[in-house]
Structure 1
Amino acid sequence: MKKLLLSLVAVAAFAFSTQAQTEKGKVMLGGNVGFSTSKVDGANKSDFNFRAIPSVGYFVSDNIAIGTGVGYSYDKAVSKGNLNQAFEVAPFGRYYVGLSDQFKFFGQLSVPMAFGNNKAVDADGNTGDKTASTTSIGAYVSPGFAFFPTKRVGIEVSVNGLGYNNYQVKNELTGNKVKTNSFGLDANTADINLGVQFHF
């Protein structure tokens, strides 16, 4: 009987610890880090892309978090003769729905913004003068699932979902602006995002 009682207490404590992950007052830390490199036939140097956007969120009430990501992106495309560097800010709101003690569905609304510039790049990868200023502002709704194997770790799987983006390029010499607006649904299961959030 004593062993059974201790087992029930342990299970109850474990269930409470997983449910407490998304309670009011909790903080989650995560982010996005990635890089890639590719070599185009005929190019002297490889293209290189790097992006780092750490994020922090705060649960303003049970299962509802708001937060932001702040970071930097660097995309040097020698094959296209262009380098784009940008400062990025990505405020978000997230809502969790409990499916079980350890699994939760979530929906996230994010408004990513990037402010940067383009520079010329020669065939040897040398960076030249600034050619344009760039601004990107979007809005995305993304669904996903979170699995909580421990009290402080959430493993997440999500897809891009529904999104809108306004991208503007202002030519440095002429002052002319070119704007591109895009809207669409990108719920491709072949393009799944995997991430980890730490909860405190």
Structure 2
Amino acid sequence: MKKLLLTLSAVAVLGLAANAQTEKGKFMVGGQVGFHGSSVKDTDNKNNSLIINPNVGYFVADNIAIGTGIGYEWSKFEQANYPERTESAFVLTPFGRMYSKNDGPVKFFGQLSVPMAWGTQKTDDTKTATTANYGVELAPGIAYFPTSNIGVEFKVRGLFYNNSSVTEESTDTKVTTDMYGLNVNSLAPTVGVTFHF
């Protein structure tokens, strides 16, 4: 009987901790940091990229948060017999997120975000083009709260649309590309950690 009471008490505490993390007036902090590099053996071909995009959200109501991410992206491309090329961009990603209302340490959520980025392309340190990206994404996910301050999240990209443009400096020519789709690959989710306080 003691074991049953202890187990029920532990489940109740975990349930209260998870609910407390998504209550009105709480904050959540997370983000994305990534680095990618590649090189082709026996050549001078190399690519490197870096992204830093911290975000913060505020619960305007129980289980409903709004927030934004502000970050920076950078890429460098080196290829034999071609000039060095770099791309950089300032990134802004406002979002709204709604969690399920269930009790317990696991909650489902949906996130609507509007990723935007503005940047430049350079060849040998000379600006050659400006870039602009605007999009919208509706992504499902699941969050597990092992403690009262930490959430471990699994999210797929979901439904998305992106409009990107590149404007050449020398000719003022603008090329616009639209991308859209549904990407719900449960075998390749993004994994993240958010801190709640």
* TM-score (norm: length of structure 2): 0.90
1:95 corresponds to: 98
Match of 1:165 in 2: 162
1:52 matched to 2:52? The reply is yes
2:190 is equivalent to residue 193 of structure 1: yes
Partners of 1:45 and 1:184 lie apart in 2 by: 31
1:113 pairs, out of 113, 116, 119, with: 116
Name structure 2 gaps, 5 residues minimum.
Answer: none
Distance in 1 between residues matched to 2:64 and 2:150, nearest whole Å: 17
Q: Percent identity?
A: 49
Deviation at 1:17, TM superposition (A): 1.8
More displaced stretch, 58-67 vs 32-41: 32-41
Q: Distance in 1 between matches of 2:5 and 2:140?
A: 39
- Distance apart, 1:100 and its partner CA: 4.3
What pairs with 1:166-181 in structure 2 (closer than 5 Å)? 166-181=163-178
State the shift of 1:9 in Å. Answer: 5.7
Partner of 2:18: 18
Match of 1:151 in 2: 148
Change (3 A) 1:15 1:40: same
What is the count of residue pairs matched by the alignment? 194
Q: 1:169 to 1:17 in 2, by over 3 A?
A: same
Please report how far the alpha carbon of residue 2 of structure 1 lies from its aligned counterpart in structure 2 after TM superposition: 9.6
CA distances 1:15-68 after superposition (whole Å, capped 9, x unpaired)? 312211101001000000000100035642521000000000000000000000
Q: Is there any run of 5+ residues in structure 1 with no aligned partner, and where?
A: 121-126
Q: How far apart are the structure 1 equivalents of 2:33 and 2:171?
A: 35
Structure 1 equivalent of residue 77 of structure 2:
77
1:124 corresponding residue in structure 2: none
Q: Which amino acid aligns with 1:110?
A: S
The partner residue of 1:142 within 126, 139, 143 is 139
Contact 1:43 / 1:78 at 8 angstroms: preserved in 2?
no
